[in-house]
Every structure is written in structure tokens, then in C-alpha cells.
Chain A
Amino acid sequence: MHIPDGFLDVKTAVATGVLGAAGVGVALRQAREYLPPQRVPLLGLAAAFVFAAQMINFPVAGGTSGHLVGGVLVAALLGPSVSVIVIASVLIVQCLMFADGGLTALGANIFNMGIVGGVGGWAIFHLVSRAVGGMFGRVLAAAFAGWCSTVLASVACAGQLAVSRTVGWSVALPAMAGVHMLIGVGEGLITALVLVAVGRARPELVSPRAVTETSFRPLVVYGGLIALGIALFASPFASQWPDGLDRTAEALGFAEKARAPVVPAPVPDYAMPGIHGSALATAMAGAAGTVVVFGLAWVLARALVPRSKPQ
């Protein structure tokens, strides 16, 4: 879900650039503090691993195939800040070496997949695996969090497209979220399967003690960045709020002046009267989908991690 160039306007590109850079900065500081020196090369190798993993086809019916993004997988195995650095590195290399993902969209891609998807996904993983416990809990958490991270990242992306006035919110959200609720199943499934595979060969790598990052104070910062992102990019959703980003942009001189509107005047995107109704419908569909996916994840985890026989 690498956003190409040309879909985000300049002010959104700058805003996401700042958010992405801030997130990576926090992650680097965390890593410097908590990563033992012998793990420094592991950052680079994990990034190479994610790159190689993203290239593997997981065939789905009809000639299409799914691919792993890997944010939650890396976070589960190596911690959230490592995941941010790894995902950011993969995105940077893909952008600069393969034109995969736009240069102006780099900040957004890092923010969406690394911070919203990676850290957000990891938070869900952590909560669920703590609540349920055991290897079963971790596999369940991996599957569910993998799905969530995909959907959340796509919602952030939709918000950015809407704020850029490239695609209206009422089109972007259902389209992006809808598609990614499907794609996310693949991500959750693959994340769980790989976690199981690693755990089978090296159980100590999937134990909670394998993650050396012990302080979660930075989660406050990550959470803050995500909240800021929501405020900036989801503001069309709460249409009573002023479009904070536009106001800021105008104040700082980023807003484009002589621009034709995305959508001709008769159907202004944010102020569309029906949006409240469709927003509620979307939210309910989302909630229902989430519950269903959690159930599927439970079934999957049970299949992969059989109940141990009582003594």
C-alpha cells in the first residue's frame, strides 16, 4: 500500500513528512538506549529480511497473490521501535532504489505503515497477547494485530488522500478500508504462520523476553503522533471541526492558491450532508468486521497451537 507521488498535495506531504520523521527519531532514540551492541547489525538484516519477505508471493485464487508487509511481525519479534526503523528503512530503499512509493509520499508511507500500522499494531498485539497468554495468545494476537495494522494504515492513507482533496473522504474511506479489510486477512494470516514457524524452530525467539525494549514511555509519543495524525487527517470525518491542517497550511504559506477544486462545487466533499449517515454505517461495518476477524483469528490460533494435554 505504498502511496505513489502525485496523490498527496504539498501540505499533506510536509505534514506527514514531519510526523514520519518524528516517529523515526523516537524509534532511533529508543533503539540506541535499549538495543545491545551486538544487535545493531540485526536492524539492517531485519530490514533485508522484510524486503525479501515482501517479495514472496502467497497465491490467492484467481492468479492474484498476497504479500506480507511485516510491521507487526517484526514488532512481535523485535519490539515496536525496531519495527519502525526497519519499516522506514525498507520504504526508503524501495523509494530510492525502485521508485516503489513516492518521494513526497515517503513520510506518509512511513507514518501509515511504520507508526500507525507498526506501533499501533504492536500495541494491539501486546494487549491481546498479555490478556490471553501463552503461545496461543501470541499467535491469536499476531493474526488479529496484523489485520488491524493493515486496516488502520489504510484508514490513515484515506484520510491523507481526502485532506489532499485528491479523493473525497466518502469515497476514499470505504474504498481503502474495504479493500484492506480483505488484504489484512492475508497479513494477519501470514504474520501468524511465520510466528509459529519461528517459534517451532526457536521458541526462545518468540517468548516475551526476546524483546529487549522494556520502556513503553515512548508509546506516549507514538500515541501522540498518531493522535495528531488523526486530528489532521480524520478531521473531515468530524465535519464540525475546522480543517486544522488547511488553516495551518495557509498560515505557513503551503496552501496552493489558484487551484481548481477536486470535485466541482455542487458536491463539496467534506460538507456532504449524507456523510454523517454513511459515516455511522461505515463505523458499524468496521466494528462488525473487526469482531468477525477476531473470531477468525481465534480459530486460526487454535488450529496452529493445539491445546496441550492435561498432565
Chain B
Amino acid sequence: MEHDFLDRYSRMSSPVHRLPASAKLVAALAIVVFLTWVPRGEWVWLQGAAVFLLALTGLAGLPWGFVIRRLLFAELFVVGVAVMALLQPDGLRLFLFLVAKSTLCLLTMVLLANTTPFAELLRVLKAARVPALLVTTLSLMYRYMFVLLDESQRMRRARLSRTFTARQARSWRTRASVLGQLFIRSGERAERIYGAMCARGWR
């Protein structure tokens, strides 16, 4: 599968990986809520949190390059929203504080995501009495999102190999057409999955 790089490190072995998923989820929530609470200008709390999180990252054995790349990817959104703070008086200090706080929250979530297989988080949700229909939807989404990503890539390549103009209008229509096909195929696949579920006794 081409896109499994997105889920490569969640099943490694480290003291952090071995913690139970429910504990990690609760801890992540607690850390993020704490960071959210930290009042403006109280940098010392952020610094403490940073040390703690970086230590955890090292302990978890996650490759630093990978962590930085994941952070940078989400950083765009952080900066994009924080930029508005610059438009206010004393904006630069506020901007920096927001970016620092948000980045630490990001690091927390990156840690959670990459030390906990999503399947385990699903089990936590199920145990927490999250409605079954939602858990089933999340499970199936997790199972098939990589499949559909690969399928859309293949369809795009097939289209590209038969397209000779690079005009933008054509390109948007081509991509939309690929999405249309993907939707239809997803619907057909959903029916086959329903058949497979019934075949093994689902009611």
C-alpha cells in the first residue's frame, strides 16, 4: 500500500507505546487542556511542558525527522490562524505565544497518534460507550481510507496518461471526474462489504 507511511510508527515498541491506549488518550487530553489554560505570557509553563514532551518523544523512539515533518505540516494551519493576532496591538508577542502553545499541543497529539494504533483507540471508544454506529463508521473509515487513497491515485495516473493538455479547466474537471468515479466505486464497495458482513452472520 502506497500510503501506509502515514501509519508506520504507531506499532513500534517502547515504554510509551506499551502504555494502555486509554491512559494515553486521557493524558493527551489533560496535557492539551492544561496547555490551553496556560494564561497569556506565562512562558515558564510552556517551557516545562516542552521539556516533558520532548523527553517523551525521545523515549518513544520516534524518528525526529518524521516528528518535525508532521509538526511542520500542521504548523501551516497554526500560523495561518495565529497570523490574525498580528493585526492587533502587541500582536507579535501574542502571535509567538499562540504559536508556541499550539505547537506543543500538536506535539502532544503527534505523540499520541504515533504511539497508539488507531485500532486500540477504537476499542477505547467502544468501551467508553460511544454509539456503535459511530464506532463502526470510524472502523470502516480507518480500514478503507488507505484503500481509497490508493484507488484515487491509480485513477488519476490512468487519466493523466491519457490526457495531453494541461489546461486548468480540464484538470479540475478531470479531478472532479475521478472523485465522482471514486464515490460511485465506494458505494459499490460498501454494498459488497455489506454482503461480506451478512455472509458471516451479521444481522
Contacts and interface: CB of A to CB of B under 8 A. Distances in A.
B74 A4 contact: yes
A77 to B, nearest CB: 7
Given A4-B77, A10-B36, A168 B105 contact: no
Interface string B86-118: 011110001000100110111011101100001
Interface residue range, chain B: 35 or more
A59 to B, nearest CB: 7
Interface string B161-203: 0000000100111011111111110110111011001000000
B6 interface: yes
Nearest to A261: B40
Given A5-B102, A99-B74, A201-B180, A44 B140 contact: yes
A82 B184 CA distance: 16
A96 B121 contact: yes
B contacts with A: majority SS: helix
Interface string A61-86: 00000001000000001000000011
A52 B171 CA distance: 18
B184 A5 contact: no
Interface stretch (B11-19, B25-33, B55-63): B25-33
A264 B176 contact: no
A123 interface: no
Contact of A102 (B32, B140, B152): B32
A7 B101 CA distance: 9
B176 A196 contact: yes
A52 B32 CA distance: 28
Contacts of A8: 36
Nearest to A189: B172
B189 to A, nearest CB: 6
B90 A45 contact: no
Contacts of B145: 47-48, 51-52, 93
Contact of B182 (A39, A49, A86): A49
A96 B118 contact: yes
Interface in A80-128: 85-86, 88-90, 92-93, 95-100, 102-104
A24 B88 CA distance: 36
A268 to B, nearest CB: 11
Contacts of B53: none
A28 interface: yes
A202 interface: yes
Contact of A44 (B85, B138, B172): B138
A259 to B, nearest CB: 5
A38 interface: yes
B46 to A, nearest CB: 10
B190 A39 contact: yes
Given A167-B88, A175-B84, 10 more contacts: A5-B102, A5-B105, A40-B133, A47-B140, A49-B182, A85-B133, A102-B109, A198-B183, A205-B184, A264-B90
Interface of A: 2-10, 13, 24-25, 28, 31-32, 37-49, 51-53, 55-59, 68, 77, 85-86, 88-90, 92-93, 95-100, 102-104, 161, 166-168, 171-172, 175-176, 189-190, 193-198, 200-202, 205, 256, 258-260, 262-264, 266-267
Interface of B: 6-7, 28-29, 32-33, 35-37, 39-41, 70, 74, 77-78, 81-82, 84-85, 87-90, 94, 98, 101-102, 104-106, 108-110, 112-113, 118, 121, 131, 133-134, 136-145, 147-149, 151-152, 156, 168, 171-173, 175-184, 186-187, 189-191, 193-194, 197
Considering the complex of A and B, which 3 residue pairs feature the smallest CB-CB distances, nearest first?
A44-B140, A197-B180, A5-B105
